[in-house]
Structure 1
Amino acid sequence: MEVAMNNTDSTDNTADSLVEVVLPGKVEPEGLEVRHGAVPVTGPGQVVIRMEATGVSFAEQQMRRGKYYDQPLFPFVPGYDLVGTVLTIGAGVEPGLVGTRVAALVKVGAWASHVRVDAADVVPVPEGISAAEAETVVVNGITAWQMLHRKARVRAGDTILVHGANGGVGTVLVQLAHAAGVRVIGTASPRHHDTLRDQGVEPVDYRAPDLAAQVRALAPRGVDAVFDHVGGPGIIQSWHLLAPGGTLVAYGSASTRDDEGSKQLPVLKLLGRVWTWNALPNGRHAYFFNVWAGRALSKNRFRAQLRADLTQVFAALQRGEVHARIAAQLPLTRVADAVRLAESGTVAGKVVLTP
Structure 2
Amino acid sequence: MSTDRADQATQTVQSGPSLQSGPSGPSGPSTRSGQAVQVVLPGVVAPEQLEIRRTAVPEPAPGQVVIAMEATGVSFAEQQMRRGRYYDQPPFPFVPGYDLVGRIVSTGEGVDPALAGRRVAALVKVGGWASHVVVDAQDAVDVPDGLSPEEAETVVVNGITAWQMLHRTARVRAGQSILVHGASGGVGSVLVQLARAAGVRVIGTASARHHDALRELGVIPVDYRGGDVPARVRQLAPGGVDAVFDHVGGRSVVDSWQLLAPGGTLVSYGSASTRDDTGSKQLPVLKILARTWLWNSLPNGRRAHFYNIWAGRALSKDRFRGRLRTDLTEVFAALQRGEITPRIAARLPLARAAEALSLAESGTVTGKVVLTP
Q: Shorter-chain TM-score: what band?
A: over 0.9
Q: 2:369 aligns to what?
A: 351
Alignment of 1:109-128 (within 5 A): 109-128=127-146
Pair 1:197-2:227 in alignment: no
Alignment of 1:3-18 (within 5 A): 15-18=33-36
Assess if the C-alpha contact under 8 Å between 1:77 and 1:111 holds in 2.
yes
Match among 151, 154, 157 for residue 172 of structure 2:
154
Tell me the secondary structure at the aligned position of residue 15 of structure 1: coil
User: What per-residue deviation string (whole Å, max 9, x for no partner) do you get for residues 70-116 of structure 1?
Assistant: 10000000000000000000011122211000000000000000000
Alignment of 1:142-291 (within 5 A): 142-291=160-309
Assess if the C-alpha contact under 8 Å between 2:173 and 2:198 holds in 1.
yes
Q: Aligned equivalents of 1:298 and 1:67: distance in 2? A: 29
Q: Aligned equivalents of 1:74 and 1:197: distance in 2? A: 42
C-alpha deviation, 1:208, in angstroms: 2.8
Pair 1:320-2:338 in alignment: yes
Pair 1:85-2:103 in alignment: yes
Q: Aligned equivalents of 1:223 and 1:320: distance in 2? A: 27
Match among 47, 55, 80 for residue 62 of structure 1:
80
Pair 1:31-2:54 in alignment: no
Tell me the secondary structure at the aligned position of residue 188 of structure 2: helix
Query: Is there any run of 5+ residues in structure 2 with no aligned partner, and where?
Result: 1-30
User: What per-residue deviation string (whole Å, max 9, x for no partner) do you get for residues 185-224 of structure 1?
Assistant: 0000011111111111100011233111110111111000
Q: 2:310 aligns to what?
A: 292
Q: 2:69 aligns to what?
A: 51
Tell me the secondary structure at the aligned position of residue 69 of structure 1: coil
Letter of the structure 1 residue corresponding to residue 332 of structure 2: F
User: What per-residue deviation string (whole Å, max 9, x for no partner) do you get for residues 299-329 of structure 1?
Assistant: 2111000000000000000110111000000
Percent identity (aligned): 74
Tell me the secondary structure at the aligned position of residue 292 of structure 1: helix
Displaced runs of 4 or more, over 6 A: none
Q: Which has the higher contact order (CA 8 A, sep 6+)?
A: 2
Q: Aligned equivalents of 1:273 and 1:207: distance in 2? A: 25
Q: 1:7 aligns to what?
A: none
Q: 1:98 aligns to what?
A: 116
C-alpha deviation, 1:15, in angstroms: 1.9
C-alpha deviation, 1:16, in angstroms: 4.0
Q: Aligned equivalents of 2:164 and 2:367: distance in 1? A: 19
Q: Aligned equivalents of 1:16 and 1:103: distance in 2? A: 23
Q: Aligned equivalents of 2:286 and 2:157: distance in 1? A: 23
Match among 323, 333, 345 for residue 351 of structure 2:
333
Q: Aligned equivalents of 1:50 and 1:16: distance in 2? A: 12
Assess if the C-alpha contact under 8 Å between 2:106 and 2:113 holds in 1.
no
Pair 1:129-2:147 in alignment: yes
Q: Aligned equivalents of 2:259 and 2:322: distance in 1? A: 34
Q: 1:308 aligns to what?
A: 326
C-alpha deviation, 1:295, in angstroms: 2.2
Tell me the secondary structure at the aligned position of residue 281 of structure 1: coil
Query: Is there any run of 5+ residues in structure 1 with no aligned partner, and where?
Result: 1-12
Letter of the structure 2 residue corresponding to residue 311 of structure 1: T
TM-score, structure 2 as length reference: 0.91
Letter of the structure 2 residue corresponding to residue 106 of structure 1: V
Assess if the C-alpha contact under 8 Å between 1:85 and 1:102 holds in 2.
yes
C-alpha deviation, 1:145, in angstroms: 0.1
